Amino acid sequence: MSEHPRTVLPPEPLPGTDELFSLDRTVAHLNHGSFGSVPVPVQRLQRRLHEEQEADPDGFFGDLPERVADARARIAAALGTGADRLALVPNVTDAIAVTLANVPLAPGDRILVTDHGYGTVTEAVRRRAEQAGAELRTVALPLGTPDGDAVREAVLAEVTDRTVLAVLDGITSTTARRVATPDLLAALRGRGVTTVVDAAHEPGMLAGPVPADADFWFGNLHKWAFAPRATGALVVRPEWTGKIRPLILSWEDHQGFPSNVEWRGTCDYTPYLAAPAGLDLLDGLGADRVRRHNEQLAAYGAALLAERAGLAPLPHSAGVAMRALRLPPGVAETLPAAQELMAALWRRHAVRTVARPWPGGGVMRVSAQVYNRAQEYEVLASGVAEVLGRGASGASGTS
Ligand SMILES: Cc1ncc(COP(=O)(O)O)c(C=O)c1O
């Protein structure tokens, strides 16, 4: 076994990133994709905003609409869209609910999702389809499906004249693949299909990610854009803005989109106000440099897992700072088994990573962010080899 995989080398750590987060350094945090991590300066700003709020609640809430509008404008610019098309929302879970409540559906209509969709998003679509008497069609994307054309053709092959809506991932959660590419969205739009993009991972990970052809696009800034949790954005195409009704009626309802969706009564709006500081920080580090670093480090982690623990790398998409690998058959095929694998890695090796069930053998996903170092992936790879009872070559049996 070589000390490092031969073809993939880890990137140099970016200057100024050692002390940027308050993560416990005795733990290898290789799961940035799930909950993100808020940089210390952004945490501090949010704390100051809370202090300001508690010093004079009337003054704070009085000025809030203007301050939220400023934050919205900064966030819209970073996402490559117009502020009049963007509503700040707490997260993607919220955004899909607003979206589904606003898309007209009739009995017999067909809705497309894929088998890589995020669990609660797909479930929300299923319920909405049931309520409307519409039919949910799940496009199968076998794990080995190569990127680009193959994904696009598989989705388009399911479109019929009854297909009115497609809910697709920008970057899938378990498999870290790009599905809703601009090409695919343009083709769907050309066929009269309303498109909804779950872009939970795109803000911060991709440059200017909002595609022209998505009717509804939403993402989280608390994953890869260094914003406090809960900061999300819902972007709609201009023809929808006048029609959007919020789920929660507030005093701002009469203002229409985006204020009608953004406001939900007395609530904590400090994440929105602090989010631009996260974007500034990303720009300060060099957003493109961060992206290249993270993508390369994720590739390094995947190469180590393949080499040392014998996992099978799955096809990956350019620009994604996460990699997915197939666990051996029989491993992590159920949710409890996947949870037990994650718990064993945590208990025995102090590693945080994600394993999710998949028919025929679970999927492990590694993330990479500027605070991660090559050595943490070495701990993960040897830990996975040990927990699975595999030798250094990955050739021995599984447990
Ligand atoms: C693809 C995808 N969609 C939706 C979500 C849900 O995000 P949230 O819990 O912030 O609403 C996630 C979270 O990991 C995700 O990866």
Residue-wise pLDDT for 44-70, tens only, equals 999 999 999 999 999 999 999 999 999
Average pLDDT over residues 209-217: 96
What is the set of domains in the chain, with CATH numbers? 42-282 (3.40.640.10), 287-387 (3.90.1150.10)
At residue 6 the predicted structure's pLDDT band, cuts being 50, 70 and 90, is low
Ligand 1 atom nearest 232 alpha carbon:
10
Which segment of 181-185, 235-239, 350-354, 358-362 scores lowest on mean pLDDT?
Answer: 358-362
At residue 84 the predicted structure's pLDDT band, cuts being 50, 70 and 90, is very high
- Per-residue pLDDT tens for 302-334? 999 999 999 999 999 999 999 999 999 999 999
pLDDT at 202 over 80: yes
Residue nearest to atom 9 of ligand 1 (CA): 93
Round to whole Å and give the CA distance between 44 and 20.
Answer: 12
Residue nearest to atom 10 of ligand 1 (CA): 91
In percent, how much of the chain has pLDDT > 70?
A: 96
Residue nearest to atom 1 of ligand 1 (CA): 173
Q: What's residue 398's pLDDT?
A: 33
Round to whole Å and give the CA distance between 261 and 152.
Answer: 32
Average pLDDT over residues 267-275: 98
Question: CB of 367 closer than 6 A to ligand 1?
Answer: no
Q: What's residue 3's pLDDT?
A: 46
At residue 87 the predicted structure's pLDDT band, cuts being 50, 70 and 90, is very high
Q: Is 311 exposed, middle or buried (0-12, 13-18, 19+ CB in 10 A)?
A: buried
Round to whole Å and give the CA distance between 324 and 181.
Answer: 19
- Per-residue pLDDT tens for 127-177? 999 999 999 999 999 999 988 899 999 999 999 999 999 999 999 999 999
Residue nearest to atom 14 of ligand 1 (CA): 34
Question: CB of 92 closer than 6 A to ligand 1?
Answer: yes
Ligand 1 atom nearest 92 alpha carbon:
11
The string of DSSP letters for 190-244 reads: HTT-EEEEE-TT-BTTBSS---TT-SEEEEEHHHHS-PPSS-EEEEE-HHHHTT-
Distance 201 CA to ligand 1 centre (A): 8
pTM recorded for the entire structure:
0.95
Question: CB of 198 closer than 6 A to ligand 1?
Answer: yes
**Average pLDDT along the chain:** 95
Q: What's residue 390's pLDDT?
A: 79
At residue 391 the predicted structure's pLDDT band, cuts being 50, 70 and 90, is low
Distance 118 CA to ligand 1 centre (A): 7
At residue 2 the predicted structure's pLDDT band, cuts being 50, 70 and 90, is very low
Question: CB of 234 closer than 6 A to ligand 1?
Answer: no
Q: What's residue 396's pLDDT?
A: 38
Question: Which residue matches tokens 């350019």?
Answer: 318
Distance 267 CA to ligand 1 centre (A): 21
Ligand 1 atom nearest 35 alpha carbon:
14
Distance 140 CA to ligand 1 centre (A): 20
Question: CB of 93 closer than 6 A to ligand 1?
Answer: yes
Residue nearest to atom 16 of ligand 1 (CA): 173
